[in-house]
Amino acid sequence: MTDQSNEKIKQTVRAGYSQIAQGRSGCCCGSASPEKLAEVIGYTNEELESLPDGVNMGLSCGNPTAIANLKPGQVVLDLGSGGGFDVFIAAKKVGAKGMAIGVDMTAEMLTKSRKAIAVFTSRTGLDNVEFRLGEIEHLPVGDSTIDVVISNCVINLSPDKQQVWNEIVRVLKPGGRVCVSDLALKKPLPREVAGSAAALISCVAGAVLIEQTINMAKQAGLIDINVEEKKYDMDIMTDCNDPLYRQVKDALPAGDTLGSYIVSINLTATKK
């Protein structure tokens, strides 16, 4: 894929998520209700209770903080942090001596997440959250400075996924871990869906086969790679009335559903 093609994909994604941040579009990777999706994919009431209003936009396909086994004092980096949903949850887990950093390339998402910091601090007493503007292919983070990298339904959006995995290894400390929830393909998508901008923004068209994801993580230098397929049904998205999802659904062959092609996975791995 050329640099020009990569940039066009990034512009499409950035424009789509700008609309979501401003409330002009919704649902994306989620269901008709962000609260319903959070419950289905395993977020607890305790994790959600101190979150600022509006940071849960239904963009998740898993709960990476649940598999990260975060500990007080750790530095956590969230790739594609959006409104700050997982960053705020991670910040509470790592506590006052830890730090939770979010990186997102969409300015409107950064505005939303940064505004929410004051609310989070007032509810928790914690001042350990930071959001940075940047691309996950070129993280604005120093080498070997992060204990745990998390990401939730974002790497599939990147046009250069190998570079993302390379960056994860660069920023992790030796022995650091990556814990990613993402979408992966069971089988190749129909051409009409794979080429759809709506499918790209709704986290479908950019997904790759599970084996490809594992190979990219290995090539980047990660070890102890473990992949778990989530048990919840991707077709929870049939509750979604968002135009993006309707366009994707209408492009599928008769009788097929998203669950015929897409599965949610948790991937964990370690840097040597």
Give the model confidence (pLDDT) of 145-195 as tens digits.
Answer: 999 999 998 999 899 999 999 999 999 999 999 999 998 888 887 777 777
- Kindly calculate the radius of gyration of the chain based on its CA atoms and give it in whole angstroms: 17
| Predicted local confidence at residue 28, as pLDDT | 47
pLDDT in tens, 16-36: 778 877 875 554 444 457 787
| Predicted local confidence at residue 25, as pLDDT | 55
| Predicted local confidence at residue 244, as pLDDT | 57
CA–CA distance, 231 with 233 (Å, rounded to integer)? 6
Residue 207: inside a domain, yes or no? Answer: no
- Distance (Å) of CA 40 to CA 29, 47, 52, 133, 185: 13, 14, 20, 30, 20
Residue 172: inside a domain, yes or no? Answer: yes
| Predicted local confidence at residue 89, as pLDDT | 97
| Predicted local confidence at residue 18, as pLDDT | 82
- Count of domains for the chain: 1
Residue 159: inside a domain, yes or no? Answer: yes
pLDDT in tens, 206-244: 788 999 999 999 999 999 999 998 865 555 555 554 555
| Predicted local confidence at residue 40, as pLDDT | 77
| Predicted local confidence at residue 30, as pLDDT | 44
Proportion of the chain above pLDDT 90, given as a percent = 56
Task: Give the CATH number, domain containing residue 41.
Answer: 3.40.50.150
Q: What average pLDDT does the structure give for the chain?
A: 86
Burial class (CB in 10 A: 0-12, 13-18, 19+), 2: exposed
Pick 205 or 38 by higher pLDDT: 38
pLDDT in tens, 61-83: 889 999 999 999 999 999 999 99
pLDDT at position 254 over 60: yes
CA–CA distance, 157 with 105 (Å, rounded to integer)? 12
- Average pLDDT in the 1-28 region? 73
**pTM of model > 0.95:** no
Residue 21: inside a domain, yes or no? Answer: yes
Residue 110: inside a domain, yes or no? Answer: yes
pLDDT at position 38 over 70: yes
Tell me the sheet residues that pair with 98.
Answer: none
**Helix axes 107-124 and 85-94, enclosed angle (nearest 10):** 40
| Predicted local confidence at residue 24, as pLDDT | 57
Residue 203: inside a domain, yes or no? Answer: no
| Predicted local confidence at residue 271, as pLDDT | 98
Residue 58: inside a domain, yes or no? Answer: yes
CB 137 within 8 A of CB 163: yes
37 — pLDDT class (breaks 50, 70, 90) = confident
SS3 111: helix
Strands (E), 186-242: 222-229
Residue 65: inside a domain, yes or no? Answer: yes
Highest mean pLDDT among 14-18, 52-56, 112-116: 112-116
| Predicted local confidence at residue 235, as pLDDT | 56
Torsional sign, CA 99, 102, 103, 109:
negative
**Domain containing 17: what range?**
3-181+216-232+264-268
